Amino acid sequence: MANKNTTSNKLKAALSTLVFPIISIIIAMFIAVFFVMWAEGENFFVATITLFQAIWEGSFGTSFSIIETLVFVTPLLFTGLANAVAFKTGLFNIGVEGQFIMGIFAAAAIGLIPGLPAIIHVPLVLLGGMLAGAIWAAIPGFLKAKVGTNEVINTIMMNFIAMFFVNYMVMGPLNAPGKATTPLIQDSAKLWRFLGEANRINIGLFIGILLVALVYVLLWKTTIGYELRAVGLNPHAAEYGGIDIKKNIILAMAISGAIAGLGGAVHVAGIQYQAIQLFGFTNFGFDGIAVALLGKSHPVGVLLSATLFGALNSSSLNLQLANIPKDIVYLIQAIIIIFVAADYIYKWIGEKRKKEAMING
C-alpha cells in the first residue's frame, strides 16, 4: 500500500511539473498567432491555421523535414543536458556555448590525423571534444570554488575567448587554403549517417539519447549525483552533512563542459566535417539554457524540450515560404522562456514567504 501511495505521489508530482511548461507553450503559440494576424492582416482562424500548418509541415510534415528536425534536435540534447547538470548544482553555466565551440575545434583538429582506423579515430574525436569542453568549463568552476568569483561573468568571457581562439586557429595554423574553414576531417573520423550521405542525420542522435539516460542515472542513482543535487538545493545544509562544496562545484562544471564539448564533437563528426570561421556564436549553447529551463533540468524533460525547440528551428524555412517571418520562431521561444522564468520567480517568492512565516510564527 505504501509503495502504491509513493508511486501515486511521484506521478502527481511529475504531472504538476509538466503542467506549467505545457501551458506556456500553448500561450506562446497563440500569442504568436496575433503577431501573424498583425503582419498578414488575416483573421484569427486563418492566422492560426496558417501558423500551425507551416510549423507542422516544416518540422514533421515530410520525411525530409523530420530528418532535418532531428538534426536540429541533436546538438540541443547535449547543450540542454550540459545546462541541466549545472542548474541541478545551483550553477548558471552561460559558457556552454564556448564549451561547445571548443568541442568543435578539438574534434576538427583530431579528425585531421591521418592513418587511424575508424574504431579508434571516432572515439578519439569524441573524447577530445569532451576533454576540451571539460577543461574550458573547469576553469570558471575552479575560480568560483577557490576564489568565489561569479561563474556567470567568467563563463561569458570564456565564450568570447573560445570563439576568437577558434577563429584564429581556423584562419591560421589549421586553415584550408582559400577557405574560411579547416580541411575536411578524415573519413575514419566521421559518424555514420545511417540514412545515407545525402541525409545529415547520424548516430550522434542516438549518442544524445543515450546520454539522456546516463545523466539521469548519474543525477538520481549515484552518490556523485546525490551530492551535486544536494549542493544545488542547499549548499549550507550539504556542507553541514559533510559534502565538499568546492569539489562538487568544479566537478559539476567539468561534467557540464564535457557534455557540451561532446555535443560540439558530434556536430563536427556527424554534420559539418570541419570547423568554420565564426562571425557570431552558434547559439546552440544559449538555446540549451532555454531547453534546460523548459525541461525543468530533468533529462527526460530536456529530451522533450529539445524536440520542441528543434522542431521550431527546423520549421523556420517553411515559415518564410508561407510569408511568415522566421523570427516568429524566436518570438515563440522567448515567450516560453518568459513564462518558465515567471514560474521560477513565483515559486521563489512562495518559498521566501513560507520561510518568513516560519520565522515570524
Mean pLDDT for each consecutive 10-residue tract of the chain (361 residues)? 55 61 81 79 80 89 93 97 96 96 98 96 98 97 93 95 97 94 96 93 97 96 95 90 94 97 97 95 93 92 94 87 80 82 73 70 59
Neighbours of 241 (CB within 10 A): 10
- Predicted local distance difference test score (pLDDT) of residue 361: 59
Instruction: Write down the pLDDT at residue 72.
Output: 95
Name the phi and psi angles at 181, rounded to 5.
-145, 170
User: What integer pLDDT is reported at residue 5 of this predicted model?
Assistant: 57
Residue with cell 557540464: 256
How far are the Cα atoms of 106, 114, 320, 356, 361 from residue 176, in angstroms, in the given order?
16, 16, 34, 63, 70
Taking each helix axis from N to C end, the angle separating 118-147 and 151-171, rounded to the nearest 10 degrees, works out to 140
- Nearest CA to 101 out of 54, 47, 160, 148 is that of 160
Q: Report the C-alpha gap between 271 and 263 in whole angstroms.
A: 11
In angstroms, the CA 15 to CA 97 distance is 31
What pLDDT is recorded for position 48? Answer: 84
Rounded Cα gap, residues 282 and 266, in angstroms: 14
pLDDT at 15: 56
Q: Alpha-carbon distance 264 to 121, whole Å? A: 16
Residues 334-338: contacts with CB under 8 Å, at least 24 apart: 335/24, 335/27, 335/28, 335/31, 335/32, 336/21, 336/24, 336/25, 336/28, 336/290, 336/294, 337/290, 337/293, 337/294
Residue 137 grid cell: 568549463
Q: 181 by DSSP, 3-state: which?
A: strand
Distance CA 315, CA 337 (A): 19
Distance separating alpha carbons of residues 57 and 47, to the nearest angstrom:
15
- Where does residue 244 rank: exposed (0-12), middle (13-18), buried (19+ CB within 10 A)? middle
Distance CA 18, CA 233 (A): 20
Euclidean distance between CA atoms 352 and 343, whole angstroms:
14
Other C-beta atoms closer than 10 Å to the C-beta of 219 total: 22
